[in-house]
């Protein structure tokens, strides 16, 4: 994807000037020198027995994890403790809450949360210091800077900053009603010491022009809708008190790849989505960013807008009033931990339990109080708060830390989280049903009692509630939720028991309350895919025993299903279930299947896997997949990557996408008549987008995979939504990785005398009637090509084909020349007929829709010996009309096959 053109600056205005100073820094020649340059700790002329302020804990040695070997992030070392929130890739993770809290004020790179929209850019150590980014747009002095120049030309500063994802605690919203975002727990935040250059210093040298109001920021990560980008106000960017920096060190070390190596933006007090990683462009503009991710991510839309309605409200998404910048005030309980147990009774006497947790505010504000209630808000207790950030303000003038001046003494803004604690007698905890907390900041804004639900599930900050269960002489504590798909939490339990989480009493039944309160949004109900009576725990070993053709079991959302009974009836053929055997196919199932299919699932539900079971290690790594250039590219159980090499326009709304496979001698490996699955991710929600396509490439072709795609775009006025997959592919930049799996499908053309396999059963077809429209021509073309060219083994090819291709206008006909060439190549065995419903004046072919009358004229009734078959692929309306017409003409349902 080409980058957007730069805004043309108006040179009529005079530059705005800012004070700055640029002390010299020793020159850096290579990465090793750079890596060592920030490791000296301050002593200020004397040795300290202990630091005045916290220093980061030691990092752990990590390695590339097996699950990442199969992704574009195969170069990134990571900590296995991190909880993956969006499957294996892209990497969106948080630490276990207690592990994060136990690390203390500063978080290591190992447990720091990560929000990645796509693949992590690879930057070799040898080129780190030569990494370039620009300052451009409405500035008097546009410039390009390398990291080396950033370090050697500008004053370096260091200070602690807490970064928080706007989705922190989103899982709670998703339990109430599914948002468009994935399920963060309460650990979507982390704190580190960042070293870099204050953004006001850079902007002072660039000199923004009058009329400039925003600073747009863009990263290097290629995504389906361009590079990630956003914007902040120029007044904030030039305010030294706000502490915005261009950082190149984290806790004294060069940035880790997941955290922006080699250069990123760090914006204290604002949501993490504004702190762009892998920085490439700083653009000063008059208006907010028009980047796709600035508009369709990090917003709090009005609560009455549903996920369905939001798809048709482009002006609402673009309304800057709904954009999120400063964080809101929030807090959480870390101890007691979820499922922690404490013994109570006479022997505990007057012992107490120390409740502990964190709190933070946004926009430089300070959390000024943290209150705890044991009686659901009737009375409150004041917790004590510690502010480790303040210790850095005590450092001597000119203190240097990790190569940067410890720039904290003069600041009265608050950049970091704080910790609270409260000793509570065990006897009081034993008498309570729950613990709830709320924080207040120095503007007297307090956390709300109830949730504000919104379509993206962001900025969730109601009182944090921990339920207390009394089990004999033990208290068991239950947090609201657990992150990702990890089961547990009182919110899920209440919902399963039929309680309403929006009744104002945390789902507790109140006197006179109906089981389902009137007025509850029916859209909030989710289709249950489990049989509540099934309680069986299934081990990984049991699942492995059912990973073959016989009694295939598969996993969706942690639940195990037996697909044996549906092998014959599955529309995609038995192979679709067999290929899923022994695997977690949650993403594919949820992305492809209809609500009706989901409603059928309880019938096949047989048990549940243990929590946190990881099945990814059962699959071959990408290195194993690609070890042989003669091995077919497609694999029925494993997603494999190919890179987008180019796009060729076929018509105004149709393109051929060319993908380079790992090896130029590697065959595609797709049987005739079958198709493959393509997987991308929604750039806003990171949910999988999976669709089936039949490529133009033949199964034996090597090196390149060609796929014809008709692009269904959104209507300009937003009245009609286009295709998710086709628009994502259309906006995909060249060089981006795309994932493929296959083959799938119940039909395969075996060749030689019309032999076919349909759902595993072989039959011979002497005549094919092929009905198609639009891009539905691609599977038809694949079979026609094999029949016309006599592909396959066995007797001489004598099978006949009649292709009926219906479109609206002549320009809508796809593969027209290729189809007609095959007709000639078949020496009369194959005939192609086009008909148009809206023909132009110069059209000499058939006119009108493909209805019963059309089929009666062109096809006629079924042959007496049932050696003919109808293959159908096109828009849903055309397929339904074709089916109805052929059944009325006396054709048997078994002779109609829909691709």
pLDDT at 12 over 70: no
Q: Is 601 inside any structural domain?
A: yes
Measured distance CA(137)–CA(142) in Å, rounded: 7
Query: Do 755 and 869 lie in a common domain?
Result: yes
pLDDT digits (tens, 9 = 90+) for 58-67: 999 999 999 8
Angstrom distances, CA of residue 356 to CA of 184, 332, 627: 21, 9, 51
What is the band of 46 on the pLDDT scale with cuts at 50, 70, 90? Answer: very low
Query: Do 648 and 601 lie in a common domain?
Result: no
Following DSSP, what letter does each residue of 374-396 receive, concatenated?
Answer: SSTTSS-EEPEEE-GGGGGGGSP
Which residues belong to the annotated binding site?
Answer: 165
Cβ contacts of residue 437 below 8 Å, gap of 6+?
A: 331, 332, 333, 357, 370, 371, 372, 373, 383, 420, 463, 464
Its domain, for residue 442, covers 330-509
Measured distance CA(762)–CA(792) in Å, rounded: 15
Q: In what order do the strands lie in the sheet with 737-744?
A: 688-693, 675-681, 737-744, 640-651, 654-660, 704-710
Query: Do 753 and 892 lie in a common domain?
Result: yes
Query: Do 796 and 866 lie in a common domain?
Result: yes
pLDDT at 612 over 50: yes
Q: Is 44 inside any structural domain?
A: no
The better pLDDT of the pair 566, 816 is held by: 816
Query: Do 371 and 455 lie in a common domain?
Result: yes
Q: Residue 10 has what DSSP assignment?
A: P
pLDDT at 795 over 60: no
Measured distance CA(89)–CA(87) in Å, rounded: 6
Structure tokens at 712: 């269904």
- Mean pLDDT value of segment 383-399: 94
Query: Do 752 and 707 lie in a common domain?
Result: no
Residue 363 is part of a domain; what is its CATH number? Answer: 2.60.40.650
Structure tokens at 180: 């468009």
The better pLDDT of the pair 251, 627 is held by: 251
Structure tokens at 536: 């069986």
Which residues belong to the annotated binding site for Mo-molybdopterin?
Answer: 165
Q: Where do we find the tokens 């099945």?
A: 615
The better pLDDT of the pair 27, 851 is held by: 851
Measured distance CA(353)–CA(435) in Å, rounded: 12
Q: Residue 891 has what DSSP assignment?
A: -
Structure tokens at 867: 């050696």
- Mean pLDDT value of segment 802-816: 92
- Mean pLDDT value of segment 17-37: 65
Residue 572 is part of a domain; what is its CATH number? Answer: 3.10.120.10
The better pLDDT of the pair 311, 884 is held by: 884
Q: Give the model's pLDDT for residue 21.
A: 43
pLDDT at 685 over 80: no
Cα Rg of the chain (Å, integer): 31
CB 247 within 8 A of CB 195: yes
At residue 139, the 3 state secondary structure works out as: strand
What is the band of 17 on the pLDDT scale with cuts at 50, 70, 90? Answer: very low
Q: Give the model's pLDDT for residue 445.
A: 96
Measured distance CA(481)–CA(483) in Å, rounded: 7
Q: Give the model's pLDDT for residue 629.
A: 62
- Mean pLDDT value of segment 285-289: 97
Which of 688, 723, 744 is the last residue before a domain boundary? 744
- Mean pLDDT value of segment 409-423: 95
pLDDT at 728 over 80: yes
Q: Give the model's pLDDT for residue 71.
A: 86
For residue 229, list its beta bridge partners. 218
Which of 509, 536, 560 is the last residue before a domain boundary? 509
Residue 679 is part of a domain; what is its CATH number? Answer: 2.40.30.10
The mean pLDDT of the chain is 87
Q: Is 501 inside any structural domain?
A: yes
pLDDT above 90 covers a percentage of the chain that reads: 58
Split into its structural domains, the chain has a count of 4
The better pLDDT of the pair 698, 578 is held by: 698
Q: Is 32 inside any structural domain?
A: no
Q: Give the model's pLDDT for residue 518.
A: 36
pLDDT digits (tens, 9 = 90+) for 642-683: 999 999 998 888 999 999 998 899 999 999 999 998 988 776
Closest CA to 172 of 181, 163, 164: 181
Q: Is 735 inside any structural domain?
A: yes
Closest CA to 327 of 273, 271, 378: 271
Q: Is 212 inside any structural domain?
A: no
Query: Do 730 and 848 lie in a common domain?
Result: no
Q: Is 421 inside any structural domain?
A: yes
Structure tokens at 312: 């048709």
Cβ contacts of residue 114 below 8 Å, gap of 6+?
A: 82, 91, 92, 93, 258, 259
Query: Do 799 and 894 lie in a common domain?
Result: yes
Find the DSSP H helices in 636-755.
Answer: 724-730
Query: Do 480 and 463 lie in a common domain?
Result: yes
CB 353 within 8 A of CB 423: yes
Residue 767 is part of a domain; what is its CATH number? Answer: 3.40.50.80
pLDDT digits (tens, 9 = 90+) for 304-354: 998 878 877 889 999 999 999 999 999 999 999 999 999 987 776 779 999
Q: Is 788 inside any structural domain?
A: yes
pLDDT at 411 over 60: yes
Query: Do 587 and 646 lie in a common domain?
Result: no
Following DSSP, what letter does each residue of 489-512 receive, concatenated?
Answer: -HHHHHHHTT--TTSSSTT---TT
- Residue 33's CB is within 10 A of a number of other CB atoms, namely 12
pLDDT digits (tens, 9 = 90+) for 125-165: 999 999 999 999 999 999 999 999 999 999 999 999 999 99
Pairing of strands 800-807, 830-836: parallel
- Mean pLDDT value of segment 541-566: 81
Which of 728, 744, 760 is the last residue before a domain boundary? 744
pLDDT at 807 over 50: yes
Q: Give the model's pLDDT for residue 796.
A: 60
pLDDT at 359 over 70: yes
pLDDT digits (tens, 9 = 90+) for 361-390: 999 999 999 999 999 999 999 999 999 999
- Mean pLDDT value of segment 812-817: 92
Q: Give the model's pLDDT for residue 736.
A: 84
Highest mean pLDDT among 303-317, 429-443, 733-747, 788-802: 429-443
pLDDT digits (tens, 9 = 90+) for 182-196: 899 999 999 999 999
Active site residues: 165, 297-298
Q: Where do we find the tokens 């019938």?
A: 603
pLDDT digits (tens, 9 = 90+) for 488-500: 999 999 998 888 8
Q: Give the model's pLDDT for residue 827.
A: 82
pLDDT digits (tens, 9 = 90+) for 821-857: 998 888 888 999 999 999 998 898 999 999 999 999 9
- Mean pLDDT value of segment 872-881: 88
Query: Do 861 and 893 lie in a common domain?
Result: yes
Query: Do 360 and 505 lie in a common domain?
Result: yes
Q: Give the model's pLDDT for residue 40.
A: 62
């Amino acid at each position: 994807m080409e980058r957007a053109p730069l805004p043309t600056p108006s040179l009529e205005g005079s530059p705005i000037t800012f004070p700055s100073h640029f002390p010299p820094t020793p020159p850096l020649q290579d990465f090793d020198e750079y890596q060592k340059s920030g490791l000296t700790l301050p002593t200020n002329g004397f040795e300290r027995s202990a630091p005045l302020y916290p220093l980061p804990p030691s990092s752990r040695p990590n390695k590339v994890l097996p699950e990442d070997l199969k992704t574009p992030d195969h170069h990134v070392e990571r900590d296995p403790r991190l909880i993956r929130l969006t499957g294996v890739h892209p990497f969106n993770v948080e630490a276990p809450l207690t592990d994060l809290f136990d690390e203390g004020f500063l978080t290591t790179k190992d447990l720091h949360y990560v929000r990645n929209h796509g693949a992590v850019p690879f930057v070799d150590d040898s080129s780190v210091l030569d990494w370039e980014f620009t300052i451009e747009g409405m500035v008097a002095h546009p410039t390009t800077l390398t990291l080396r120049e950033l370090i050697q030309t500008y004053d370096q500063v260091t200070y602690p900053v807490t970064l928080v994802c706007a989705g922190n605690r989103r899982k709670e919203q998703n339990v109430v009603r599914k948002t468009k975002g994935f399920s963060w727990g309460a650990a979507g935040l982390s704190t580190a010491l960042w070293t870099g250059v204050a953004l006001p210093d850079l902007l002072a040298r660039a000199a923004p022009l009058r009329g400039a109001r925003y600073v747009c920021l863009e990263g290097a990560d290629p995504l389906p809708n361009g590079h990630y980008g956003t914007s902040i106000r120029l007044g904030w960017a030039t305010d030294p008190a706000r502490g915005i920096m261009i950082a190149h060190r984290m806790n004294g070390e060069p940035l880790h790849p997941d955290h922006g190596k080699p250069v990123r933006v760090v914006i204290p007090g604002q949501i993490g989505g504004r702190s762009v990683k892998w920085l490439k462009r700083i653009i000063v503009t008059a208006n907010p960013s028009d980047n796709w991710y600035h508009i369709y991510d990090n917003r709090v839309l009005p609560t009455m807008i549903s996920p369905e309605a939001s798809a048709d409200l482009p002006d609402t998404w673009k309304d800057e009033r709904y954009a999120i910048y400063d964080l809101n005030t929030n807090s959480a309980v870390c101890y007691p931990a979820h499922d922690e147990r404490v013994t109570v009774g006479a022997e505990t006497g007057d012992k107490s339990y120390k409740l502990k947790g964190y709190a933070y505010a946004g926009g430089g504000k300070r959390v000024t109080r943290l209150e705890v209630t044991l009686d659901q808000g009737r009375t409150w207790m004041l917790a004590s708060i510690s502010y480790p950030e303040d210790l850095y303000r005590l450092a001597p003038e000119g203190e240097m830390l990790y190569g940067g001046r410890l720039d904290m003494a003069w600041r009265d803004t608050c950049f970091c989280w704080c910790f609270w604690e409260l000793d509570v007698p065990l006897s009081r905890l034993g008498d309570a049903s729950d613990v709830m907390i709320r924080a207040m900041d120095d503007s007297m804004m307090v956390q709300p009692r109830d949730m504000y639900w919104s379509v993206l599930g962001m900025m969730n900050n109601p009182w944090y509630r921990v339920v207390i269960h009394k089990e004999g002489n033990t208290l068991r504590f239950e947090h609201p939720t657990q992150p990702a798909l990890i089961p547990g939490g009182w919110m899920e339990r209440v919902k399963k028991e039929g309680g309403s989480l929006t009744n104002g009493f945390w789902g507790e039944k109140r006197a006179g309350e109906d089981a389902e309160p009137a007025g509850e949004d029916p859209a909030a109900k989710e289709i249950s895919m489990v049989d509540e009576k099934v309680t069986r725990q299934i081990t990984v070993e049991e699942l492995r025993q059912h990973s073959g053709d016989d009694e295939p079991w598969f996993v969706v959302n942690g639940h195990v299903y037996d697909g044996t009974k549906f092998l014959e009836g599955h529309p995609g053929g038995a192979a679709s279930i067999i290929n899923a055997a022994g695997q977690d196919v949650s993403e594919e199932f949820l992305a492809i299947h209809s609500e009706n299919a989901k409603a059928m699932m309880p019938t096949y539900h047989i048990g549940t896997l243990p929590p946190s079971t990881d099945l990814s290690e059962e699959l071959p790594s990408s290195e194993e997949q690609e070890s042989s250039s003669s091995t077919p590219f497609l694999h029925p159980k494993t997603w494999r990557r190919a890179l987008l090499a180019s796009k060729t326009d076929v018509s105004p709304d149709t393109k051929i996408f060319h993908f380079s496979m790992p090896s130029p001698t590697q065959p595609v490996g797709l049987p005739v008549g079958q198709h493959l699955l393509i997987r991308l991710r929604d750039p806003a929600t990171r949910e999988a987008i999976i669709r089936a396509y039949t490529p133009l490439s033949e199964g034996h072709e090597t090196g390149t995979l060609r796929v014809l795609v008709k692009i269904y775009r959104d209507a300009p006025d937003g009245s009609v939504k286009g295709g998710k997959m086709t628009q994502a592919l259309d906006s995909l930049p060249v060089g981006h990785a795309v994932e493929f799996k296959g083959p799938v499908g119940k039909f395969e053309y075996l060749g030689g005398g019309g032999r076919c396999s349909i759902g595993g059963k072989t039959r011979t077809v002497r005549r094919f009637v092929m009905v198609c429209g639009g891009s539905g021509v691609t599977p038809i073309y694949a079979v026609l090509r094999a029949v016309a060219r006599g592909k396959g083994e066995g007797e001489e090819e004598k099978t006949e084909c009649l292709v009926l291709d219906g479109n609206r206008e002549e320009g809508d006909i796809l593969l027209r020349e290729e189809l007609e060439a095959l007709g000639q190549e078949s020496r009369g065995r194959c005939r192609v007929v086009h008909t148009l419903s809206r023909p132009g004046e110069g059209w000499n072919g058939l006119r009108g829709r493909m209805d019963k009358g059309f089929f009666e004229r062109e096809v006629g009734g079924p042959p007496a010996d049932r050696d003919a078959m109808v293959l159908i692929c096109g828009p849903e309306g055309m397929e339904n009309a074709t089916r109805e017409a052929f059944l009325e003409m006396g054709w048997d349902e078994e002779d109609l096959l829909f691709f």
